Amino acid sequence: MTDVVSFPAGASAKPARRDIGIKRRYAAERRFRAYGIAALSFGILFLFILLYSVVSKGYTAFQQTMITVPVEFSEQIIDKDNERATDPQKLVTANYPLIARNAVAKVLGVAETDRSGLRAVNQMISDGVRGQLRDMVVANPQIIGTTQTVSLLAAGDIDSAFKGQIDLSVSENNRKVSDQQVGWMNQLAESGALGKHFNTGIFVNGNSSRPEAAGVGVALIGSFYMMLIVLVLSLPIGVAASIYLEEFAPKNKFTDLIEVNINNLAAVPSIVYGLLGLAVFINFMGLPRSASLVGGLVLTLMTLPTIIIATRAALKAVPPSIRAAALGLGASKMQTIFHHVLPLAMPGILTGTIIGLAHALGETAPLLLIGMVAFVANYPTTPMDPSTALPVQIYMWANEAERAFVERTSGAIIILLLFLVVMNVGAILLRRRFERRW
Amino acid sequence: MNMLSEAAVEKALDKKMNEVAYKMIGKDVSVYYGEKRALFDVNLNVRENTVTALIGPSGCGKSTFLRTLNRMNDTIEGCRVTGKITLDEDDIYDKEIDVVELRARVGMVFQKPNPFPKSIYENIAYGPRIHGLARNKADMDQIVEASLQRAGLWAEVKDRLHEGGTGLSGGQQQRLCIARAVAVSPEVILMDEPCSALDPIATAKVEELIHELRANYTIVIVTHSMQQAARVSQRTAMFHLGQLVEENDTDKMFTNPDDQRTQDYIMGRFG
């Protein structure tokens, strides 16, 4: 250490500084910030456009036009020969739309002999009234022969016209509602008989080819079953697999291969999982088509890599000092993991799981392949029954031609988005609840 | 080479055997991390109810040796230990020995205070619970109180036993970790630089505590501070490059060491 390297010449005085471009450095930083803000604004703008377009088109779907009139449950029409005591089918198969038509025609003053007028009146009422009135009569046969005030579902076209979604300036021949019907509609609206009510049907009804009677009830139940199956299967399997891989498995070529494959599986297009489900669960194992059980299994496969990756990251993030502390006290490896590591990793695991579930909830492509893109009007009672799912329902409605389906498609999207928001808020709350500092 | 010859070691050991009781005896202990050898045939005995300080420059193997004493090296992938270490009469690397049992007898305190993110009470109660040391709640309360008193923390925390252990100050956390180690009634306590993350006042408290614990426990402490080694220990062992350079009474070590390298290290000429 005798050779002392001296500073370059002039070092004894204050060294002259080379120009390192301080101004340029600050400019670069400002530019970078501007890029960031621009990117962010762009994203927020598109989010806003998306929400605006969906909400502005969809909010009307939560209102339904109804015609409230006194309906005479005429014994003459329902059960002419008084056979209902012996033949229960009588009440089920009676001509209820006729009762509804007569009720509205009476209010509008259309003569019973005016056949074309009666047909026009009939077109203003949804065919859904058949079920509506039938359910009333079957539940309480005593109302036969009496007159009750009933809110009848208006037909989809009247619903659209009343919400101003049909352009009435178009020539009468080129639109779904006639001038006569529009006149009646306005007449009924003025007398207060026709008006918009909250549309509970969109939440509880099954699918229907008549937009005014169509709802996401079946899809909600299908999605609920699938989420339940995904949660029950993928959380324990995923967490167990992660714990084994992270804590117990030896680090060798084989486990490396598994790790690479798990990461790849998370990126496999979801439609491939649909093909897998079709081949394995339906063709090989013989499970029924369109069943939410199969959908749940397929989505489980799809969600597993996400959960495993999130869980492993959460386990890795637990400080080694906590493991050392537990091991140093004489806890076994299993005790260390289950008493200390897992509780600390819980927020990460739960967040990953909920994000995985939210992803699965919005997944459409694999469900198309296993036959969940089906017209299902009846509630599935078990996961083995045919069902559909929320995103698939949206996909199906988006293909329908009627104007009233446009708002229902957006309405269903709003429902789906609400569920996703609820799940993500749940994830954040769980994270806050379980988060511990160390 | 100033290494003591094998025969000289044996002779010295025999002589001392008559006077002192050895709690742990390490014979020809070598440790490998994969291909790399970290410890070279270390022969070091730990005396009962004595504080033994392990000193030496960074990377000399003192922490590695400490961790062989309760088999914490088992948790490191690719780590291999050869030689023989006994605790009383039991070979701790014997297949018959349960590592869980061993760690209950040989406790450990780490460099950074690492309380569990649970309440103070739960921190202490965890060890006794998994080892089945308490029959009921009253037993456990007693163990918790006794352990905290031993660690000199009782007065400071007795009113907030059910608050988080991570809310304590650094020095308190480290004493909590010592109390946690004490709670399972170990025979030996290993401390890996227990004061390196603490301020001088907290350090003084921990050192005082180590001094008191000596009455009931055998303590092995790794430290980078010469002063600390001099203050708390009765025996000092100097490691260098994976070898045990010298092991002697602390007083002698710091005044008149046998080995030149010890002298150099203590004087701050290297390391």
A positions 312-351 inside 8 Å of B (CB): 319, 321-332, 335, 339-340, 344
Q: What does the pLDDT read at residue A96? A: 87
Give the DSSP per-residue string, A8-34. Answer: STT-SSPPPPP---HHHHHHHHHHHHH
A367 and A225 in a single domain? The answer is: yes
Q: Order across the sheet with A194-198: list the strands.
A: A147-153, A63-72, A194-198
**Minimum distance, in Å, between the CA of residue B18 and any CA atom of chain A:** 33
Confidence band of B263 (pLDDT split at 50, 70, 90):
confident
Give the DSSP per-residue string, A139-154. Answer: H-GGGTTSEEEEEEEB
> pLDDT for B188-210, tens place per residue?
999 999 988 888 888 888 898 89
A293 and A405 in a single domain? The answer is: yes
Q: Which residue in B74, B98, B101, B103 has the most chain A C-beta atoms within 10 A of its own C-beta, making it the best mutation to test that interface?
A: B103
Other Cβ atoms less than 10 A from the Cβ of A192: the count is: 8
**Separation of alpha carbons A247 and A254, rounded Å:** 15
Instruction: Please indicate whether, in this complex, the C-beta atoms of B103 and A330 are within 8 angstroms of each other.
Output: yes
Structural tokens at position A354 = 């909920």
Read off the CATH number of the domain in which B215 is found: 3.40.50.300
ipTM associated with this complex: 0.84
Other Cβ atoms less than 10 A from the Cβ of A287: the count is: 16
Across chain B, mean pLDDT equals 87
> pLDDT for A215-273, tens place per residue?
899 999 999 999 999 999 999 999 999 999 998 888 889 999 999 999 999 899 999 99
- Residue B41 within any structural domain of the chain: yes
Mean pLDDT, residues A117-129: 88
CA-nearest residue to A340 within chain B is B116
> pLDDT for B62-98, tens place per residue?
899 999 998 988 888 888 899 999 998 888 888 888 8
**Separation of alpha carbons B144 and B122, rounded Å:** 9
- Residue A12 within any structural domain of the chain: no
Q: What does the pLDDT read at residue B165? A: 87
Q: Which of A328, A344, A437 sits opposite B108 (nearest CB)?
A: A328
- Residue B136 within any structural domain of the chain: no
- Residue A14 within any structural domain of the chain: no
Structural contact between residues B38 and B201, judged by C-beta atoms closer than 8 angstroms: no
Lowest mean pLDDT of A71-75, A154-158, A252-256, B6-10, name the range: B6-10
The structural domain count of chain A equals 2
> pLDDT for A40-63, tens place per residue?
999 999 999 999 999 998 888 898
Burial of B34 (0-12, 13-18, 19+ CB in 10 A): exposed
Structural contact between residues B36 and B233, judged by C-beta atoms closer than 8 angstroms: no
A290 and A376 in a single domain? The answer is: yes
B15 has a pLDDT exceeding 60: no
Q: What does the pLDDT read at residue B1? A: 42
> pLDDT for A142-179, tens place per residue?
888 888 888 898 988 888 889 888 888 888 888 888 88
- Residue A298 within any structural domain of the chain: yes
B2 has a pLDDT exceeding 50: no
A252 and A308 in a single domain? The answer is: yes
Structural tokens at position A437 = 């500092």
Structural contact between residues A133 and A96, judged by C-beta atoms closer than 8 angstroms: yes
Kindly list the residues of chain B whose beta carbon comes within 8 Å of any beta carbon in chain A.
70, 72, 75, 77, 100-104, 107-108, 110, 112, 114-117, 126-127, 130-131, 166, 177, 180-181, 184
Structural contact between residues A295 and A370, judged by C-beta atoms closer than 8 angstroms: yes
Q: Which residues form the domain of A174?
A: 64-198
Instruction: Please indicate whether, in this complex, the C-beta atoms of A324 and B110 are within 8 angstroms of each other.
Output: yes
Among residues A399, A419, A14, which one has the least CA distance to residue A207? Answer: A399
- Residue B182 within any structural domain of the chain: no
Structural tokens at position A393 = 């329902």
The structural domain count of chain B equals 1
Q: Which residue in A251, A327, A329 has the most chain B C-beta atoms within 10 A of its own C-beta, making it the best mutation to test that interface?
A: A329
A7 has a pLDDT exceeding 90: no
Q: Order across the sheet with B218-222: list the strands.
A: B106-109, B188-192, B218-222, B51-55, B235-240, B243-249
**Minimum distance, in Å, between the CA of residue A253 and any CA atom of chain B:** 15
- Residue B8 within any structural domain of the chain: no
B265 SS3 class: helix
Q: Is A422 on the interface with B (CB under 8 A)?
A: no
**Minimum distance, in Å, between the CA of residue A3 and any CA atom of chain B:** 20
B109 has a pLDDT exceeding 60: yes
B115 chain-A contacts, CB cut-off 8 A? 325
Q: What does the pLDDT read at residue A438? A: 44
Q: Which residues form the domain of B34?
A: 20-112+187-265
Read off the CATH number of the domain in which A334 is found: 1.10.3720.10
- Residue B179 within any structural domain of the chain: no
A313 has a pLDDT exceeding 90: yes
Alpha helices in A244-369 (DSSP H): 253-265, 270-277, 292-317, 320-328, 333-335, 342-361, 365-369
Q: What does the pLDDT read at residue A304? A: 94
B142 has a pLDDT exceeding 90: yes
Q: Which of B114, B131, B180 sits opposite A322 (nearest CB)?
A: B114
- Establish how many alpha carbons lie within 13 A of residue A320's alpha carbon, considering only the half-sphere containing its beta carbon: 7
Instruction: Please indicate whether, in this complex, the C-beta atoms of A344 and B184 are within 8 angstroms of each other.
Output: no
* Strand B106-109, strand B188-192: pairing: parallel
- The DSSP element (H or E) to which A66 belongs, if any, is strand A63-72
**Separation of alpha carbons B168 and B156, rounded Å:** 10
- Residue B131 within any structural domain of the chain: no
A156 and A265 in a single domain? The answer is: no
Confidence band of A193 (pLDDT split at 50, 70, 90):
confident
- Residue B149 within any structural domain of the chain: no
Instruction: Please indicate whether, in this complex, the C-beta atoms of B130 and A438 are within 8 angstroms of each other.
Output: no
- Residue A261 within any structural domain of the chain: yes
- Residue A6 within any structural domain of the chain: no
